Amino acid sequence: MADLTLAPRTPLGHALPEQHNIGGFALTEVVDTALGSLTVRAGQSAAVADRAAAAGLPLPGPACWLPGAPYAAFWLAQDSWMIEAPFASHEDIHRHLRGLFGDTASITEQTDGWARFDIRGEHLPALFERLCPVDLRGLAPGHATRTVVEHIGCYLIWREPGRISVIGPRSSAAALWHALETAARALA
């Protein structure tokens, strides 16, 4: 084995995640979660549901996120979910999910495709009405949707009353972070 250790960088390009408090909002770069997509193969819906249930892996309905340990999940499309798991134990999430689902589903590692920023604060609806067309006032925690923030396609995961994750494409991490900071400053 080559005598070599490659040091990871966060999506914002640093050794450690960023954290920024602006007014009543706390913005955090989150890198402790592995992501893998899970899509049912033809005729395997029941098999996937059985295996997921046996593993305690939630398969939420449209526009939903469901927590769980070690696996949480949000809905991507018909018969398709993004699975979340702790990075420390599931860095190779593809291998873990393949072990659970075998050939009943198509599984793709997605961890480094995305940058995740968690925003904590009391006035999240006011913040997000500046950022995207999603009106949180009519929704509740557990809601997960795809939207656009400053031209960037993102997932919004409303995890608990005062906390939302914005998951956007990793290459646009800096632009997305800037958009979040700018909107937060406008309300500070």
Partner 1 sequence: MPGKGRAWIDQQNDVTVKDVKLAHQENYVSVEHLKRYTTLGMATDQGKTGNVLGLAVMAELTGRPIPETGTTIYRPPYTPVAMGALAGRSRGQEFKPKRLTPSHHWATEQGAVFVEVGQWLRAQWLPRDGETHWRESVDREVLATRASVGICDVTTLGKIDIQGTDACAFLDKAYANTFSTLAVGKCRYGLMLREDGMVFDDGTTARLGESEYVMTTTTANAVGVFRHLEFLRQCLYPDMDVQLISTTEAWAQYSVAGPNARKLLAKLVDQDISDAALPYMGCAEITIGGLRARIFRISFSGELAYEIAVPTRYGDALIRALMAAGAEYEAVVYGTEALGVMRVEKGHVAGNELNGQSSALNMGLGKMVSKKKDSIGMALSQREGMVDVNGYRLIGVKPVNPAEKLTSGAHFLEKGADAVAASDLGWITSTVHSPHLGHMISLGYLKGGDARRGQRLRAVNLLAKTEVEVEITSPHFFDPEGDRLRG
Binding site for partner 1 (CB under 8 A): 1-11, 13, 31, 37, 39, 41-43, 80, 92, 103, 106-114, 150-152, 169-176, 179, 182
Contact 144, 72 (CB under 8 A): no
Q: Which is nearer to partner 1, 92 or 160 (CB)?
A: 92
Minimum CB–partner distance for residue 31 and partner 1 (Å): 8
CB of 115 to partner 1, least distance (A): 9
Nearer to partner 1 (CB atom), residue 111 or residue 145: 111
Q: For residues 62 and 161, which CB has a smaller minimum distance to partner 1 in the complex? A: 62
Q: Min. distance of Cβ 48 from partner 1 in angstroms?
A: 12
- Closest CB to partner 1 among 145 and 172? 172
Burial status of residue 71 (CB atoms within 10 A of its CB: 0-12, 13-18, 19 or more): buried
